Amino acid sequence: MGEPVVEIAGVGLHPFGRFPDRSVTELGIHAVRAALNDAGITARPAFQAAFCGTAYAGVAAGHKVLAALALTGCPIVDVEAGCASGAAALMLADGAIRAGQYETVLVFGIEKMPKGIIRSTFFEPWREEVGLAATPAYFALRAQRLMRESALTKEDLAAVVVKNRANGAANPDAMFRTPVTAREVLGSRVVCEPLHLWMLCSPNEGAAAVVLRRAEGVSAHRSRVVVRAATLRSHLPGNVLGEATPLAGLIDDRDIPSPTTLAADAAHEESGVGPDEIDVVECQDTDAARELLAYEELRLCAPGEAGSLLASGEVHLGGRRPVNPSGGLLSKGEPLGASALGQVVELTLQLRGRAANQVDGARVALAHTVGRGANASVVILSR
């Protein structure tokens, strides 16, 4: 008997977008049913536990989805970790299976975001009243610092949007499916200098589901996708602006590792897979600069080299290691609880060789999100 292996037995997705006629529960039903079908699970009980990632769906939101499918009775736990909620749910499921607690676990994420700037109880009422609950402004400060320290320009930011929107044009589950030019991106209105509207992802709606199953040892089944690591890390004291939202009064130094770097290093150690062995990446592109920062934090390039990496074409389709072949959040939009699992669905299809923008011969994949708190998740999958 080898080490227990956690395999992805099935994946399902409800497209990301705006669906005024469908409740968040209905989005979840769609994704969960698709994942169970994909896994070929018809017997009951279908799984021994379920973890549901969501930030805005409310009390017992996961229970409502599974109640509608008559799949209750097992433990059902809703998990909130901002934009990393779905990955946090995956981490808990993966750990429980590895510990021998369960054989099969359902992980899903659901969300219906309000339109406009995300309102969050993370910000105290006084912070809202004074205008400091302006999420895009924090993104802008982070972008500004990255541009200053890595010698990036607005043209580099626009190039990220052009890349991702071109990829998204082929993704039937994306919200935005038209390619854009750099000129159009730079011509869209400035939300918070240096970020223009089209450099920011749209909060939206969607659901994603993954069935995890315990499998003993190494399988000869070549198409099987396994979870090599599912890590989540929060910020260290003194580092917040590197991530989603800074708290006043904390110094943000580059010599303090960001949550993304902490999660990535832990994932590489846990999996034994180094950054150079990754074939395809889905990373958090809540704004265009966030993707460039991820290149550095995930150690896809050296600090300060994000612009060179982008310009080299390595991260484009057909390059050595494409980043966000799905189109990223810039194309898909971001339903918080579902977005991390949407990445896992995309990468599972990549490893099965069945993605819309297939990366030839992809064997190892990495998914990354950053959420308010700050939380960062890194998931490494392989076949």
Contacts with other proteins, residue ranges (CB under 8 A): 116-120, 123, 125-126, 128-137, 140-141, 144-145, 148, 189-194, 237-238, 241, 246-252
**Which tokens sit at 366?**
């990495």
- Rounded Cα distance between 356 and 124, Å, is 42
| DSSP β-bridge partners for residue 8 | 212
Least separation in angstroms between CB 152 and other proteins: 15
Residue among 218 and 251 whose Cβ is closer to other proteins: 251
Classify 338 as helix, strand or coil: helix
Residue among 31 and 152 whose Cβ is closer to other proteins: 152
H-run or E-run covering 259: helix 259-271
- Rounded Cα distance between 49 and 42, Å, is 16
Q: Are 39 and 243 in contact (CB under 8 A)?
A: no
Least separation in angstroms between CB 184 and other proteins: 19
Least separation in angstroms between CB 265 and other proteins: 23
- Rounded Cα distance between 285 and 201, Å, is 7
Residue among 103 and 129 whose Cβ is closer to other proteins: 129
Between the two ends of the chain, the Cα-to-Cα distance in Å is 19
Least separation in angstroms between CB 237 and other proteins: 5
Residue among 131 and 172 whose Cβ is closer to other proteins: 131
Residue among 241 and 362 whose Cβ is closer to other proteins: 241
**Token pair 């549901």: residue:** 52
Residue among 23 and 188 whose Cβ is closer to other proteins: 188
- Rounded Cα distance between 80 and 35, Å, is 21
Least separation in angstroms between CB 146 and other proteins: 11
Least separation in angstroms between CB 254 and other proteins: 13
| DSSP β-bridge partners for residue 380 | 229, 366
Q: Which amino acid is at 66?
A: L
Residue among 249 and 361 whose Cβ is closer to other proteins: 249
- Rounded Cα distance between 152 and 146, Å, is 7
Least separation in angstroms between CB 353 and other proteins: 43
Residue among 167 and 239 whose Cβ is closer to other proteins: 239
Question: How far is the CA of 103 from the CAs of 38, 77, 135, in angstroms?
Answer: 17, 17, 40
Least separation in angstroms between CB 255 and other proteins: 15
Burial of 129 from C-beta contacts in 10 A (0-12 / 13-18 / 19+):
exposed
Question: How far is the CA of 112 from the CAs of 83, 206, 321, 337, in angstroms?
Answer: 13, 7, 32, 9
